[in-house]
Structure 1
């Protein structure tokens, strides 16, 4: 379990480090909606009724919880020009939520098998948030470059504004970004779907 928290900590640190120190924002950044919306009725969406019929899937080093129901149907599309689409049957990804300090919440939606992984991190601070696609692999090369990420669109809906430890969180994300990987290949990443999780204390 500690290894899993360490992995999430490394990914989150990279995200925060990339954004830290940037005082000049371009027009595209200013156009991104950074305020999440509140809809207390979202937990009644049909998507969650469907997820209740499926068992949870687990990532590498996850603690298996007996009889747990599926946490996410967020679906990822990749390509040169793709749009976000939601599929109820897209149940590969798992959602986790962590509270850090008094006003920070980290939601991680993705998959990892011990060798590679990918997904999206939502970093919520007070009433604003940022979203970042991430991808990692144990296949490294000496000339690999640092991946670059640019959010093109984001829309986040949550069931309430503030959360405490052990609260359940319900949400919906619609996301699109441009991602340049460590080999300098550029792809468009689009994600869309519902998610839920129980909030745990961050150990990183």
Structure 2
């Protein structure tokens, strides 16, 4: 795969493989491994900005760029350092947080972060999220995907599509949602470039030799 091209299906397959190899359980550890995946995948060719021991996030949870925002200028001469200012990929991970103890609260947090991806200028967009169903709600994950697709379609000027990675959520008590990592819990969806449709990624149909 070219360094400036991203195949959403392959990216999902690789992220899923990474999470299943580590199998983190706590939300903080799942988030940590998601960031680790993007660092390992893109750091050889791009700057990967996210909260970490050696870096901090910028605009979104994960930003894969051709430049380092804090070192754009030379200190003494004010000379511009980067040859180009370009964002290859932006990603948000929303697996809980404040108020994430109901179907509405969880999705409200997801949408707030998802909007960042829609208004930032970048080539590719990835949203990793969890959800909870309402009482007696059927196929709630597909409904959440449809909501995000519709929001993408309503945003002018987008042509990248979006990779949606959904981790099933559980709520054993009245506390906030807990995302799960297992073969069955991780699902990928791709919103089309024009926003008119979305499709679930069939992990069995992915040609891993193309990675």
Compute the TM-score of the two structures, normalised by the length of structure 1: 0.31
Q: Which has the higher contact order (CA 8 A, sep 6+)?
A: 1
TM-score by length of 2: 0.30
Higher relative strand content: 1
Larger proportion of helix: 2
